[in-house]
Structure 1
Amino acid sequence: MSYGELPVEVAGHTFGERLTGIIVLLSGQYRLSKRKVQDALSDLLGVRICLGSISNREAEVAKALEVPVAQVGDAIREAERAHADETGWFEGKVNGRAKRAWLWVVVTAHLALFRISPSRGSEVAKALLGEDFTGFLTTDRWSAYNWYDTFLRQLCWSHLTRDFQSFIDRGGEGGRLGALLMKERDRMFQWWRRVRDGTMPREEFELRMPKVERRVGRLLRDAVVCAEDKTAGTAAEILKLESAMWTFVHVEGLEPTNNFGERTIRHAVMYRKTSFGTQSPEGSRFVERILTVVTTLRLQKRNVLEYLTAAVGAHRRGLPVPSLLPVAEPSQLAVAA
């Protein structure tokens, strides 16, 4: 009796490419714990799998995604504009307690890059963006971004709104100044929304805004001198980045908030709440890479399972894994030509 040789993509693998894709999809996109993945495979597909096999599939996919995720990072470092944000995470344990870490994201219109790090410092932001990054960067006021040129940075006005509200909540002279700052903020957003819906020409918006900018600057300087210590300190910190409050006024297409970045990281926040973080650096590599893939493909309206299946197949065959970079439409290529 003779037997044919198994295809290279099957030999040595108990799980097929699509099943492997489904396993990591349930974990990465649908945020199921390993036990929930185990139950879902049994209930939906009649596939019985041990928890260790799920971890092994995640490790395999993490390795397969290494190159395309690195390509995403390279492309983001060349982007004209990006949003950055970070949130708390846990990686491993120290003395029986979860060890603090941070999950970072840098996102553009069609690409997202996640990174889990024990640090919330500027070295992580520099590694993600590249120290030679020259695009416009939208962030909150976190100091890890203060190395970046303020004239290329846009502060999030949602966070500034919270700062001004905190002035009001503390009362006193700072509260009075906070109320005046809120009025200027409301005026600015009213005009900005009109620009977005087309009822105010952008040129008119740019002509009106210098008065608002001067009033806000004056009120913040008054707060530094006259307000209570905490309010005065916050006002002084904002003034260090004063030019970054108004970049969106002079750069068409730039948003005055970091809402896009915050929406992008929300999926990861929910992932953390259901998984309680990761247990090892290897687990963190899987999470940051699968989040990069899921979010990037969602931004591009591409099918995640189809991509993961193709990525696993290519990796097993020793072929280049499909790119995560957006493909230009034929019309765009014609314009470029």
Structure 2
Amino acid sequence: MSAILSSPPIFFTLQVQELKDWVKTQPQVHVDESPWLVRGVKEWMWVISSEKYSLFHAGDTRSRAELEYLLGQSFSGVLSSDDFSVYNGYPVVAQQKCLAHLRRHFQQVTRLKQPHQKALGEAFLSLIDEAFTQHRQWRETREASTYASWAESFKVRLKQAISTWSAKAGHVAGLLLKSLRDKSHQWWYFLDHPQVPPDNNRAERSLRLAVTKRKVAGGSRSWPGFRRSATLLSVIQSCRAQGRSVLDFLRRSLSLAVRSRSHELSLIPVFE
């Protein structure tokens, strides 16, 4: 794999560009980003993922500009992400913030020494765990009426919990409860739309290979090298998600490129 990651991506840039254009038209995407050193300077590796593809982007910022480069000035779909501020206010049909991140925040609350914080954190951890369990059951059974009935009950209990604990919340917990009130439609979008996962695991899993390469290689020695890594990671992770051989894809892309037939090969997934 290290040999692949050091080879020139000349022969499959067309397929990656085609994937980039296609991603902008999708109904739902997962987005994440991770630090990446280029000549010792912190840059950012971005990824857009869904069930059968991953598109990586070498970015020099962690700003809205990178998001707009990848998805446009606005996105006519659902954006799943963590709760990093760059995603706030970006024009989309809807957002789903990662519930796993919210769970970690409340775990930290349970460790605080102030009165009531442990109990507060545990109360919301219980609600979050319940939501994960119910969504997992929906994925297994696809029983829409059962899920919808639970979701309506859950919304009532969630609202009651926020009201009950707000007066006892310290500074950290208070900020979390405020976020749950102000951005309820982003934290809990999956309650009414279970086809959207409550977490951002798809993007985070896709980034793991990039993180491993960064740790092993220490980043990139040049911007062309950084961009090459992003292009290759797009091929590798998309092929893996589609159950395709990475080496076969690379060999075929080379074979087609030398015959000016690159258009015959694509990274765009086929959904049955």
**TM-score, normalised by the number of residues in structure 1:** 0.73
Quote the residue 1:63 is aligned against: 10
- Tell me, in whole angstroms, the C-alpha distance in 2 between the residues paired with 1:319 and 1:74: 19
Alignment length (residue pairs): 270
Unpaired segments of 5 or more residues in structure 1? 1-24, 30-54, 93-97, 333-337
Deviates more, 1:282-291 or 1:259-268: 259-268
Cα RMSD (Å) of the superposition? 2.3
Shift of 1:225: 4.7
Quote the residue 1:239 is aligned against: 181
Q: Deviations over 1:53-109 (max 9, x none)?
A: xx6xx3xx33333221111111111111111111111111xxxxx211111100122
Which residue type is aligned with residue 70 of structure 2?
A: L
The question of whether the paired residues in 2 share the 8 Å contact of 1:154 and 1:245 is answered with yes
- Three-state SS of the structure 2 residue aligned to 1:102 is strand
Quote the residue 1:292 is aligned against: 234
- Three-state SS of the structure 1 residue aligned to 2:47 is strand
Unpaired segments of 5 or more residues in structure 2? none
Quote the residue 1:88 is aligned against: 35
Which residue type is aligned with residue 124 of structure 2?
A: L
How has the CA–CA distance of structure 1 residues 74 and 248 changed in structure 2, closer, same or farther, with 3 Å as cutoff?
Answer: same
- Tell me, in whole angstroms, the C-alpha distance in 1 between the residues paired with 2:163 and 2:225: 47
How has the CA–CA distance of structure 1 residues 314 and 186 changed in structure 2, closer, same or farther, with 3 Å as cutoff?
Answer: closer
Shift of 1:226: 3.5
Shift of 1:213: 2.2
- Three-state SS of the structure 2 residue aligned to 1:307 is helix
The question of whether the paired residues in 2 share the 8 Å contact of 1:84 and 1:137 is answered with yes
- Tell me, in whole angstroms, the C-alpha distance in 2 between the residues paired with 1:265 and 1:252: 24
Deviates more, 1:233-242 or 1:164-173: 233-242
Shift of 1:232: 1.8
Shift of 1:194: 2.5
How has the CA–CA distance of structure 1 residues 327 and 259 changed in structure 2, closer, same or farther, with 3 Å as cutoff?
Answer: closer
How has the CA–CA distance of structure 1 residues 218 and 118 changed in structure 2, closer, same or farther, with 3 Å as cutoff?
Answer: farther
The question of whether the paired residues in 2 share the 8 Å contact of 1:191 and 1:205 is answered with yes
Quote the residue 1:27 is aligned against: 3
Q: % of aligned pairs identical?
A: 25
- Work out which of the residue numbers 180, 191, 203 in structure 1 matches 2:123: 180
State how 1:34-113 maps to structure 2 within 5 Å.
58=7, 61-92=8-39, 98-113=40-55
How has the CA–CA distance of structure 1 residues 152 and 73 changed in structure 2, closer, same or farther, with 3 Å as cutoff?
Answer: same
Structure number with the bigger relative contact order (C-alpha 8 A, sep ≥ 6) is 2
Shift of 1:224: 5.3
State how 1:131-280 maps to structure 2 within 5 Å.
131-148=73-90, 152-171=94-113, 172-198=115-141, 201-220=143-162, 225-280=167-222
Which residue type is aligned with residue 184 of structure 1?
A: L
The higher radius of gyration belongs to: 1
- Tell me, in whole angstroms, the C-alpha distance in 1 between the residues paired with 2:256 and 2:136: 47
How has the CA–CA distance of structure 1 residues 187 and 109 changed in structure 2, closer, same or farther, with 3 Å as cutoff?
Answer: closer
- Tell me, in whole angstroms, the C-alpha distance in 1 between the residues paired with 2:181 and 2:74: 25
The question of whether the paired residues in 2 share the 8 Å contact of 1:111 and 1:325 is answered with yes
Which residue type is aligned with residue 65 of structure 1?
A: F
